[in-house]
Structure 1
Amino acid sequence: MSSREMLPFNAAAAVPDAANLLTGLSALVQCQNSAELQQKLVGWLAELGNCALVQLYLLDASHSRLPLCCQWLDGQLGGEHGEDGLTAPLLAYSLSQNTPLQLDELDRSLHATPFLPASSAAWRSLLCQPILDRRQQVGGLLVLASRARGLGRALTLPLDMVGNIALAQLHAMQQAELALQAPDLPLPEPATASKLGSFGLIGESPAMQQVYRLISKVLHNPVTVLLGGETGTGKELVARAIHDYGSRRSQPFIAQNCSALPEQLLESELFGYRKGAFTGADQDREGLFDAANGGTLFLDEIGDMPLALQAKLLRVLQEGEVRPLGSNQSHRVDVRIVAATHQDLFSQVEQGGFREDLYYRLSHFPISLPPLRERGSDIRQLALQFTQETCTFLQRSHCRWSDTALAYLATQRFPGNVRELKGLIARALLLCDGNLLLPEHLDLPNTPTQAHRLTLREQLEAVERNLLNEALQQHNGNQTLTARMLGLPRRTLLYRMQRLGIALRSRSQAQCLPK
């Protein structure tokens, strides 16, 4: 890229004049394709900031990955593309908070910077600038790094403006390029759950892959989500993932348990009140709907909400309006509702304990979380993760698991699900005097007291039980398809399921998830 095409900013002043700015923007607009635009952008910004490294990261269609799309390093294009910036805490923070991040003195011992390429001289300063699309939602990051101390703070505003314009132009080019594709070319392969990532959640079982796929469908639209599943399956974690990886990530996330407060207090907590509305209301107070305006309100245990409050919640969902206690005026709020319950709301509707109109308004997009006993190998992965986290919390040396203890965990049903497993591991670590976790530390029902080792048959049955559960979950309980995948006659599959204590579910009992 020649200096005639793009004039650099005045490095001494660190603020561009109008002529230089217009020259650079004009060169971007005249690019013929998206690849050329990306390359000219990073090259120009390297001159703009007088820095050795410029990286352009763009969110993918699901907003679950932040791949490196283009890099300018020491005067030329280079570097590996496709690296996920969300794995770097500094980039993930700047993106999720929608705020520039500037480090004038970069300390590699304090800040993890795996996204910076290897260099003979240390990188000394860093600037991360979120860029917005035409809908004013975060679409990616610009990263500038220098081997000298300090990148001018005056760069933040020009970067913001240039990045936003370039991103809008880039999206327009990409849409035009797709429109010009021949009609007989195959369409891009739809993103699967495995490609979308886990949204910060733990688990790779087919049941969790289905959950990830459903989460990806609701990240960037305001549809109300209803999370179902047994207690302890991680409903609040999923609600946070929907918020943190969605378009409202930079706005508040407010959680409220509907069963934790009596009706009158819950109403004032949600809707707020005006001075004099009741005894003790000596000043105006905004409610959680106002506090979550622009963001997400998570209503846990929605099935325990009193009927009178359900009517007020229905109006918020339908009209987007909130009326505080003691006020005769309503005002509009923009809040995304994510509700959760471990109860069967449809049964409550039939029994008169839950409003039918609210039920259908909440259940536009249900996501059912699988119990831990149906997640197979996830139990091992969760156990290892919780062990590491708990050891850090307890400030003790890391503990490892014995094979027999891990195999024994896989045989348990865990009625309290992930919450029970986490508490169990915390207790086991307190009971463990050494650095090896054994079955005797788990204190589970029927834990062997004489022998600390499972027999070979018990270990093999635990492995087989996990495989069958995963296969059944993958085929939504269809025994014929499961037997075909495992290479077994259907009669043999039924025999093994009965012998291993796996429930024989009919097709009508198989859980239906939205496609």
Structure 2
Amino acid sequence: MFTEVPQPLAYAETLLGTFASLSRMADDARLLEEFAFAVGQLTGSELAQVYLLDAGHSQLGLSAECFEGVMQSRQSIGVSADYHTDELLQFSLCQNRVLCLEELGSGLYQTSFLPPSAGQWRTLLSVPLVNALGVVEGVLICASVRLLELKVFAESLGQLGRFVLAQLALLQRLRSPTQSLAVKAVAASCASGYGLIGKSAAMRSTYQLIGKVLHSPYTILLTGETGTGKEVVARALHECGPRRSKKFIVQNCAAFPESLLESELFGYCKGAFTGADRDRKGLFDAAEGGTLLLDEIGDMPLSLQAKLLRVLQEGEIRPLGSNDTHKIDVRIIAATHRDLLSLVAEGKFREDLYYRLAQFPIELPPLRQRDADILELARYFAAKACVFIGREPLGWSETALAHLSGYAFPGNVRELKGLVERAVLLCEGPELLPEHFSLNVEAHPEDSTLYLRDYMERVERAYVLSCLRRNGGNQTLAARQLGLPRRTLLYRLGRLSVDLSEFQEGTSAP
């Protein structure tokens, strides 16, 4: 670690003293400021900056800055600013790799995050800040107007940064319960829908998972029933992440036979097979720097699964007909509606590939678990359809809304979208009515193998929810309409796992 550092013994002594000094810090802000100051002293650079991700991992904020030996005030450093557009910051953040540049003045790099200086910035070192679990939580920046050998400090600064993150976590655990609640409130306020629609408890959990993995390079496995919006979530992960300026490419693994799928993904060289009259890049190369969604991954042939595993492990591909491999920089998201573990047990899916793909699984909830989102989604699809066909916006009758809210939607969001678009085309008046929606109410909600009790519970749950919505969440009025005592309704709501927080109860009736 110290072999290339100037005066290694003196540097090691100073570094050890820095560890000891930082261990005595009892305040988050002071800890980060001392960290930035120490980094400037250790490296001899004029600038040291500490960037940390927020609680939702959706923004990168400048937490401390030491410029020419002076700590900058929190007002001047612009806490909680969004740095998605700064590629140098995003490189270390998303790739978990050290970046060292010695010619910043060439104009090739965006350096708007660096403060104005009397001299031109020449040297920059970017070190990812990684916690004990190996997750990147921020970036450390060192910059100088002189030509310095900053890369020799990268390993030791990385270890120092890991220690600082551990100290921050320790300080957070030691806070009083009141402060902990405040931190959780701030984290909740940072939650974002990432362009997705829905405020139900199930979707809020999905947003939290997206935020955790948005800025990491981990492979994501999206699971869920057909029509739950796996491609929509994959696109949100791309467009809200640091790779949004690059391509987002979707490949359905069930749409091609094995031989064509391999050439589509990996590309081929001229003469690789009959008809290959030129070199052709595959989708891995086409998505360079961006995101590749492998939809219906459960239908990928076993022989191709082995090649995909190598891509995930080594980060390199070999086109058909070529003897050479080359590195790629692509974030891979896999999606499937099938139970991959069952396919593994049947020998139809590689176990090692499953665990490599499922680094960070996200299961998307079916629409029947998002009761509070149905009407919001319906209104959104109706408004979008009206714009598309160039007609005036349509209103909704209460009976039409109740008609939709009581339906199980076995086809999930995709089915709802199709039903609403068809209703907009059928509607000749100013308002959508129940007769515009062709709901197959006799169809089984999902599974023809359900026991009678399970089926009746689903029917009961749908009807109770519909009644609650018609009465604006007022439990007393809903109980009266259902012919039940209010206490009995509350018991049934608990047994049916209805989240009452999704309903804003109106004024109780006498």
Same fold (TM over 0.5): yes
Distance in 2 (CA, whole Å) between partners of 1:182 and 1:356 is: 38
Q: Which residue of 2 aligns with 1:237?
A: 232
Cross-structure match for 2:492:
493
Match of 2:419 in 1: 424
Counterpart of 1:372, as a letter, is: L
Structure 2 residue runs without a partner (length 5+)? 1-29, 34-50, 64-73, 96-106, 125-138, 143-160, 443-459, 474-485, 499-510
SS in 2 for 1:62: coil
**1:248 and 2:201 are equivalent in the alignment:** no
- Answer whether contact 1:64 1:199 (CA < 8 A) is retained: no
**Aligned: 1:162 with 2:161:** no
Pairing 1:135–2:92 present? yes
**Structure 2 residue 404 is the aligned partner of structure 1 residue 409:** yes
* Map of 2:132 onto structure 1: none
SS at match of 1:221: coil
Paired residues of 1:407 and 1:462 also in contact (CA < 8 A): no
Q: Deviations over 1:248-301 (max 9, x none)?
A: 233322111101111111100100111100111111111111122222211000
Aligned to 2:348: 353
Are residues 342 and 194 of structure 1, via their aligned partners in 2, closer, same or farther at CA, if it must alter by over 3 Å?
Answer: farther
Q: CA RMSD in A?
A: 4.7
- Partners of 1:216 and 1:160 in 2: CA distance: 23
Aligned to 1:54: none
Q: How does 1:417-456 map to 2 (within 5 A)?
A: 417-446=412-441
Partner secondary structure for residue 249 of structure 1: coil
Cα distance, 1:275–1:378 mapped onto 2, change above 3 Å: same
Deviations 1:105-144 (A, max 9, x none): xxxxxxxxxxxxxxxxxxxxxxxxx884783779xxxxxx
Whether the 8 Å CA contact 1:230–1:371 is kept in 2: the answer is yes
Please say if residues 56 and 187 of structure 2, whose CA atoms lie closer than 8 Å, have aligned partners that are also in contact. no
**Equivalent AA in structure 2 for residue 135 of structure 1:** S
Measure the CA separation in 2 of the matches of 1:67 and 1:345: 38
CA distance in 2 between partners of 1:179 and 1:361 (Å):
28
Cα 1:286–1:373 shift into 2, 3 Å:
same
Distance of 1:137 and 1:256 partners within structure 2: 23
Distance 1:325 1:386 in 2: 43
Residue 392 of structure 2: which of 389, 392, 397 is its match? 397
* Residue 127 (structure 1) aligns with: none
Residue 493 of structure 1 aligns with an amino acid whose one-letter code is: R
Distance 1:407 1:223 in 2: 42
Q: CA 1:137 to 1:342, structure 2 compared with 1: closer, same or farther past 3 Å?
A: closer
SS for the counterpart of 1:377 is helix
* Structure 1 range deviating more: 348-357 or 367-376: 348-357
1:104-503 matches, within 5 Å, as 132=89, 135=92, 159=112, 161-162=114-115, 184-186=174-176, 189-190=183-184, 195-446=190-441, 461-463=464-466, 492-493=491-492, 497=496
SS at match of 1:135: helix
Give CA-to-partner distance per residue, 1:308-341, whole Å, 9 cap, x none.
1111101111111211100112112122211010
Aligned to 2:6: none
In the aligned structure 1, how far is the partner of 2:200 from the partner of 2:341? 28
| Structure 1 CA distance for aligned equivalents of residues 435 and 341 of structure 2 | 42
Return the alpha-carbon distance in structure 2 between the equivalents of residues 319 and 241 of structure 1. Answer: 26
| Structure 1 residues 226 and 444: CA distance shift in structure 2, 3 A | same
Change beyond 3 A, Cα 1:137–1:460: closer
One-letter amino acid of the structure 2 residue matched with residue 64 of structure 1: S
* SS at 1:256 equivalent: strand
Q: Report the counterpart of residue 473 of structure 1 in structure 2.
A: none
- Identity among equivalent positions (%) equals 53
> In the alignment, what sits opposite 1:64?
58
Summarize the alignment of residues 42-53 of structure 1 with structure 2, pairs less than 5 Å apart: none
Equivalent AA in structure 2 for residue 162 of structure 1? P
Alpha-carbon distance in 2 for matches of 1:322, 1:387: 44
Contact residue 375 and residue 405 of structure 2 kept, 8 A: yes
Residues 425 and 494 of structure 1, relative CA distance in 2, 3 Å threshold: closer
- Once the 2 structures are TM-superposed, how far is the Cα of residue 368 of structure 1 from its aligned partner? 0.7
